[in-house]
Chain A
Amino acid sequence: MTCKTAAMRKLWDRAEQAIVGVLGLAALAIALWQVLSRYVLPQQSISYAEEVMVYLLIWAIMIVSSQLVSTDSHVRPDIVRNIVPPGAARWLEIFNCAAAVAFCAALTWYSWQVVETARVIDEQSSSDLQFPMWIYYEALPAGGGLMSIRYVIRLIEIAGAATGDGAPRQPGAHELPGVD
């Protein structure tokens, strides 16, 4: 990887983080306002606050998903990968990345059709806001597209290298405060 692409990728990461951070804070602010206004300023309360919070959070989550690819921190069982010989593990990982590219590309394509349909029939949310649903649906092709690109990069890196399976995994790759 040359210096230039490394710098570009860093910029990309930073941009994603900044956007996601702002979306996340906005979601928190709206949720806080919803509770406060209910008890303190009922006439100022927004009936669709919760709806907007969902849109913000889902957009944030879809955008940031691509970083789970670049840091290889999607939850996955790696038992087989750890016990087979390194050569086989490399092919396994190439297979995984190729399948991931195919899935994410298909996801982007089909979810784009969902967006298009919603735009054509002018689908709106049933709340007072009457939010154009295509803007919310758009989060899925956006996330799918970003993940596709990250998976293509990962595939090229692993297939391009003579050995290795994309490991060593970054320390803390499992740093996932998940549901468990």
Chain B
Amino acid sequence: MAVFLTLFVGLLAAGMPVFLVLGISVGVVFAASGRPLVGVAQLLINELNSPALMALPLFVMAATFMRFGGIAKALVGLAAAWLGGLPGSLGLVTVVACTLFAAICGSSVATALAMGTILIPAMLERGYPLSFALGVVGASGTIGIVIPPSLPLILYGIVSEQSVPRLFLAGILPGLLQAAAFFVWVLYEARRRKFPVEPVLPLMERIRVTLAALPALLVPLVVMVGIYGGFVTVTEAAALSAVAALGVSLLFYRGFHWTQTLSVVAYGLRSAASIMLIIATALAVGHWVTESGAPAKLVEFLLGHQFLPWQFLLAINLLLLVLGCFLEVTATLLLVLPILAPALRPMGVDPVHFSIVFTHNMEIGLVHPPVGLNLFVLSSVAVAPMGAVIRGILPFLVILLLVLAVITYVPELTLWLPNAVFGR
């Protein structure tokens, strides 16, 4: 374990790609324990051979189609049509459009990216301060992974053997709470700092824009009806949402020409590849961790020292916040969850509740300096200095931490909806 941790931290500090860090670490511990390295290769390719896991690349492909295909733009239009007249309209549009996009996209980075490329230039043009524009997009983008579909929740479901549709439902209320908190904060800031007000559109115009956004809203509808109607598996729903997004993009919004389809598909798969390699190597590490007996030792330790559930949750939150500063979401999830999952039941923590606590922590990691991935995305999209991004994100970080406290200590917020739908 000590060899593994030293190597892991060292390589990560050298700025090596995460999948290489994980791959090299697992190779070294395998070799050190005298096992043939062919086993690592076999493990990697076997871990990937899983239909459930394919929901991830398919959802990433869907997000790519939505971003390039004009669906993201239609959703922004929809939010803008109904939020004119309020102070800081564009800031509010960002929060609402991100929430809508989150319902069809399972990734925060993808959400921040899709919304950032449209809304940051728009906000700057209307005279919003750069740091605010970056902050609101980065923070609202994180809603992408709590509101279903959610890539981390799919992985969580696979690793801890929970029902993914149940986890998806659990994310809805906490996601909406977060969106509401951001909305209120933006309103307050807009009043205080006199952000511009967009004109109220005439009713006919609003109806026209809403109708134009309907095909875009078809995509989440396909996923929700498919999954909760019991018609399709999560993976099939992911494939359907990709097909629907492709169809809607080509037929309605025409964000890209049909001749570009192959390159857009390849682009989507390239984005998916960056996480799939991390997932394959992280699963191999997780395999090794489980075999090492560390999870059982943790349970023993926790029970032996009579930790209370709230202390356990607090300690986990702190650990995840620290890890989230240095690691990417999937890697954190796949490294930590195999150790923690066996400890949940004995500690009296509901695994469904914990999934949302975990995911929310990952959100914070995404916008937490120094290595939040959303921060990097924003500074590269807007060609802005990192300092401005961090300054903008700070107030939202405080709100995220408050929401985390609510999610952690009010399990009903998470559990009410899935229990109401599926029973206990």
Contact = CB atoms under 8 A, between A and B. Distances in A.
B16 A21 contact: no
Nearest to B226: A35
A177 B109 contact: yes
A79 B48 CA distance: 30
7 contacts: A17-B266, A20-B270, A28-B58, A31-B243, A64-B269, A99-B24, A140-B41
Nearest to A73: B274
A32 B243 contact: yes
A27 B383 CA distance: 36
Contacts of A117: 38
Interface string A75-115: 11111110000000000110110011001001100110110
The range of chain B's interface size is 35 or more
A20 B16 contact: no
B414 interface: no
Interface string A22-58: 1111011001101100010000000000110110011
A80 B270 contact: no
B110 to A, nearest CB: 3
A57 B262 contact: no
B273 A68 contact: yes
B377 A174 contact: yes
Nearest to A139: B45
Given A53-B54, A79-B371, A179-B152, A100 B263 contact: no
B240 A64 contact: no
Contact of A171 (B23, B107, B243, B380): B380
B373 to A, nearest CB: 5
A103 to B, nearest CB: 5
Contacts of B107: 177-180
Contacts of B24: 99, 103
Given A16-B266, A53-B239, A111-B44, 4 more contacts: A27-B239, A54-B48, A74-B18, A176-B377
A92 B17 CA distance: 12
A15 to B, nearest CB: 11
Contact of B51 (A53, A76, A172): A53
Contacts of A114: 38, 41-42, 45
A96 B330 CA distance: 22
Interface string B1-31: 0000000000111111111100110010000
A111 B54 contact: no
Interface in B260-309: 261-266, 268-279
B209 interface: no
B95 interface: no
Contacts of B27: 103, 106
B60 A64 contact: no
A61 interface: yes
Contacts of B54: 53-54, 57
Interface string A113-154: 110010000000000000000001101100000000000000
Contact of A25 (B16, B63, B262, B373): B262
A179 B380 contact: no
A74 B274 contact: yes
B213 interface: no
Contacts of A76: 15-18
- Minimum-distance CB pairs A-B, first 6: A177-B110, A21-B262, A31-B239, A74-B17, A180-B329, A111-B41
A171 B14 contact: no
A21 B240 CA distance: 17
Given A25-B265, A31-B58, A111-B44, A180 B109 contact: yes
A35 B16 CA distance: 41
A100 B19 CA distance: 10
Given A113-B41, A178-B329, A74 B236 contact: no
A156 interface: no
Interface string B29-62: 0000000011011101100111100101110110
Contact of A68 (B232, B246, B270): B270
B274 A180 contact: no
A20 B266 contact: yes
Given A28-B242, A65-B273, A74-B17, A180 B38 contact: no
A173 interface: yes
Contacts of B42: 114
B370 interface: yes
Contacts of B243: 28, 31-32
Contact of B263 (A17, A137, A176): A17
A74 to B, nearest CB: 4
